[in-house]
Amino acid sequence: MPCSEGLTTAWSANVLHQWGALLAPLSLLLSAQFQLCKAADSAWKSGAELTWQLESPVGVRWGSNPLRAALTSLARTQGVAIFLDRRVDPDQAVDLVRGDLTLRELLEQLAEQRNLGVGQVGPVVYLGPPQTAAVLGTVAAQREEHGQQLSAALRNRLKRTQPLRWPELTTPRDLLQRLADEAGFQVQGIEQVPHDLWPEGDLPPLTFAQSLSLVLAGFQLTFDYLPEAAAVRLKPLPATASIVRRIPLRGSPAAVGTAIRRRFPDASFTIEDGDVVVDATLEVADGIRRLLDGTAARPKPPPAKTKGEKRYTLRVQDKPLAAVAAAIAKETGVELRFDPRSEDMRDKLVWLDVKEVTLDQLLQTLLEPGGLTYRLDEQTLEIRPAGAP
């Protein structure tokens, strides 16, 4: 019996009756008693859970372990997907014994030892040549933003997120073609991708732009959209990249500005309307966000479970964001609203698998991949753009 058919939930029958047409297909499982099935599906962390995991302490004892094997074991035990660039020798031996670092610090130290860089594309940590790692996440985010400028019909094709998996001995050309076919796009310039055979891959749900960016990274390539032809055209990955992100101001403008300049001397930023407006790489923007959140100095493990605090378990696959948010709002006893600036995200297809999380963790994990956040009061759950005033 498939994993989804064996799920059990303690949700009340009257809620299922009222929302049956919506909630049954969603497989929305909001219950502390729910037993998450231990099937072959990977429980990769994303959103707030991923952030907490990267800031949590981890210990390793590697003695001449092959690099890929060490990373695969680390990824599985931590629930954090790690993508190793094809240009990196996967069999090189790594020796590392540490128990005093966060997962983020451990990966950075490992990368420094191997003359590599660390980047992040959505919920995937990337390890590869420093020049690629420095821009990959930012370029992928730029492609996401460019995709939102396409026609509504094309945007709808790009909203879908799904796990990126392939069997052993897959060629990257075949993988690129499969991704393009699934999104209804053609690929121009695929001859730039040489023949290669890849080991088996298993990555969490990604958007079309994120998947293509990771597959192309090892060839120092990215892509542009050709909206008039419903196609993408491959092109060289740029040497530099930046993107604008708004981060809520925490503290006095003078103190925040001093702290950012001390920690990120080359970052371009301004402080306006209660936000820090950063024009830099995604990694620098994320570093500034963590600095202002107070999580950059020391590890911040997941918050401890408070006695009596309600926890949620949710598992959905390829369901509209609005439908999932509506079900959460119903369970919480509030009305769902979308900020007008977020209306076009209602139909974004989401894929979630979280267990025993707080309501805040649940909502952040649902919304962050789409560049959204929320505001919750006693009557309303409002979905709004991240960083919006």
Q: What is the pLDDT of residue 35?
A: 31
Average pLDDT in the 227-235 region? 92
Backbone angles phi, psi at 182, to 5 degrees: -65, -30
Q: What is the pLDDT of residue 41?
A: 44
The torsion angle over the Cα atoms of residues 7, 10, 14 and 20, rounded to 10 degrees, is -20
Is 80 exceeded by the pLDDT of residue 383? Answer: yes
Q: What is the pLDDT of residue 379?
A: 83
Between 8 and 155, the more confident residue is: 155
Q: What is the pLDDT of residue 42?
A: 55
Beta bridge partners of 235: 222
Band of residue 110 on the pLDDT scale cut at 50, 70, 90: very high
Question: How many CB atoms lie under 10 A from the CB of residue 346?
Answer: 15
Q: What is the pLDDT of residue 299?
A: 42
- What gap in Å lies between CA 205 and CA 351, rounded to an integer? 6
Average pLDDT in the 237-260 region? 91
Is 50 exceeded by the pLDDT of residue 130? Answer: yes
Give the SS3 label for residue 297: coil
Band of residue 30 on the pLDDT scale cut at 50, 70, 90: very low
Q: What is the pLDDT of residue 24?
A: 44
Helices (H) and strands (E) in the chain, counts: 13, 18
Average pLDDT across the chain, whole number: 83
- What gap in Å lies between CA 254 and CA 277, rounded to an integer? 14
Q: Which residue has the tokens 């919506």?
A: 22
Model confidence over 319-345: pLDDT tens digits?
889 999 999 988 888 889 998 888 888
Letter for the amino acid at 383? I
Closest CA to 311 of 365, 374, 354: 354
- What gap in Å lies between CA 127 and CA 120, rounded to an integer? 9
Model confidence over 194-211: pLDDT tens digits?
999 999 999 999 999 999
Q: What is the pLDDT of residue 331?
A: 86
Band of residue 280 on the pLDDT scale cut at 50, 70, 90: very high
Band of residue 250 on the pLDDT scale cut at 50, 70, 90: confident
Average pLDDT in the 49-67 region? 90
Question: How many CB atoms lie under 10 A from the CB of residue 236?
Answer: 10
Q: What is the pLDDT of residue 388?
A: 63
Model confidence over 142-182: pLDDT tens digits?
999 999 888 888 888 887 888 999 999 999 999 999 999 99
- What gap in Å lies between CA 24 and CA 2, rounded to an integer? 16
Closest CA to 12 of 29, 26, 25: 29
**Which range (136-150, 268-282, 284-298) has the least confidence?**
284-298
Q: What is the pLDDT of residue 308?
A: 55
Q: What is the pLDDT of residue 300?
A: 43
Would you mind telling me the total number of residues written for the chain in this entry?
389
Between 368 and 136, the more confident residue is: 136
Q: What is the strand order of the sheet 335-338 is part of?
A: 335-338, 380-385, 372-376
- What gap in Å lies between CA 307 and CA 134, rounded to an integer? 42
- What gap in Å lies between CA 140 and CA 209, rounded to an integer? 6
Band of residue 138 on the pLDDT scale cut at 50, 70, 90: very high
Q: What is the pLDDT of residue 298?
A: 43
**How deeply is 6 buried, as exposed, middle or buried, from its count of CB atoms within 10 A (0-12, 13-18, 19+)?**
exposed
